[in-house]
Amino acid sequence: MHVAELWRYPVKSMAGETLREGEIRVGGLTGDRIVHAENGRGRVLTARTHPQLLGFRATLGADGDPVVDGRPWSDPEIAARLKATVGQGVRLVSDGGAGRFDVLPLLIATDGAIAALGVDHRRLRPNIVIGGVDGLAERGWPGRRLRIGRAIIEVAKLRGRCVMTTYDPDTQEQDMAVLERIVQEFGGRMALDCSVVEPGRVALGDRVELLEP
């Protein structure tokens, strides 16, 4: 098994960026979900209720701050576009706390399960895609550990999927059949919620080893 893809989402619920390598720390992949959108009452907004966020693309700038569609995340033009697209009162806020993750700091998907599902895997929003996995083998991994590059990751559980999987990453058009299939054929769960046991650097092509219990 090997690291086939690395993904980072500097702004929560926006489209992310692919990486050749990255540093995995206890709080997840460096630069992941360090800014989020919230409304005027301070409530965090996600693509579950505001899929228009997926139409913005966030990357990490050389200074370590997110860049949205080529502009600094705090740029007034980005603020104006968000209000026009997502709704009045929305704003972007820096967030370095552990609460920025819906569940755990890392989401891992495997090529075998992605093939079984048969949809664009960006709908799952993984941080790491592991290649060379036989079918649905990932479903037997919760409770086990993975050595990925120099990092050791603990697989906590299969991720319960939500309405975000129904939105096309490019057009934001909704297809409820995607989630219905995940529920009917996969018990509502796909990909793996993971925590970090030992931090380390990870790169494309790195070997992935399922450790003995």
Kindly report the pTM of this predicted structure: 0.93
pLDDT digits (tens, 9 = 90+) for 118-166: 999 999 999 999 999 999 999 999 999 999 999 999 999 999 999 999 9
- Comparing CA positions, the residue from 29, 27, 38 lying closest to residue 10 is 29
Sequence-ordered list of residues with C-beta below 8 angstroms from that of 79, at least 6 positions apart, any chain: 91, 92
The 10s digit of each residue's pLDDT in 63-108 is: 999 999 999 999 999 999 999 988 888 999 987 655 566 668 999 9
pLDDT digits (tens, 9 = 90+) for 169-194: 999 999 999 999 999 999 999 999 99
Query: Kindly report the CA angle at 86 between 85 and 91, in degrees rounded to 5?
Result: 115
103 to 4, 72, 91, 151, 206: CA distances (angstroms): 23, 27, 23, 20, 25
Please give the domain boundaries of the chain with CATH numbers for all domains.
2-7+19-27+102-210 (2.40.33.20), 30-100 (no CATH)
Q: Which two tokens stand for residue 61?
A: 């700038």
